[in-house]
Amino acid sequence: MTGAIQVAGVVKKFGDVTSVDGLNLTIPQGSFYGIAGPNGAGKTTSIRMITGLLEPDAGTIEVAGVSVWPNPRRAKALLGYVADNPPLFGRLTAREMLDYAGMLRGMASADIRSRGDDLLRVLDLEADAGRPIADFSLGMTKRVGLAVAMLHSPRVLILDEPFGALDPVNTQVMEQMLQRFRQGGGTVVFSSHVLDVVQKLCDRVAIIAKGTLVAEGTVAELAPNGSLEDAFVDIVGGRDLAEGDLAWLSSSPA
């Protein structure tokens, strides 16, 4: 399989802190690919560089064969991105947000309207399409963010914690949407701490720690005993409470 995303030797520093340290990553085209790692591992920084939002200090990034840096505009046309807390315009309605996103992408008005109608209906936002996004819950905002990311039918869809704040019904709908997108030839990449979801959906998983790739492969390769969560803890290192830690929690109230 050809690479939908190719990351080679990428480095990003913030002052004296190295957030991403020589990251190498190949994400196959047409895959459902998971990125996991502890808090502060460099996952979100890596995603922001891949999506053209943050420039690396060193290394190269390609999306569908197009170099993201130093000119990210061409690569962005191939991407859809949903952040953990999507930065949408709160004063716009859901419908206006889709219209605005479509116009920025240079889409035809008829396509914006028809695709927007489909997305609002499937994501159960039709009844709220005329309300300002500022009035939405986080789960609703995430659904609008997904609609914006998918409106232009990108080649690669990247999501940061996509299922957080979603109820089970909308989680199931989103999973079905992502699988349909993939069946149509798209590539799905998502970062999540919910390893049960990663194990359920992904073909391959990359585990990042301290800004570098520490393990990569299929779920079966990474978790031969069946639990990706257990394998993750073994790979990045776990922490257990010592015998006397928080002993006061078990003491009788005065």
- Please state the domain extents for the chain: 1-78+156-237, 89-153
pLDDT of res. 244 = 80
Residue 1 has pLDDT above 60, yes or no: no
Poorest-confidence range of 28-32, 130-134, 162-166, 185-189? 162-166
- Contact criterion met (CB below 8 Å) for 49 and 62: no
Looking at the domain covering 1-78+156-237, what would its CATH class be? alpha beta
> Quick one: pLDDT at residue 162?
80
Query: pTM for the complete prediction?
Result: 0.88
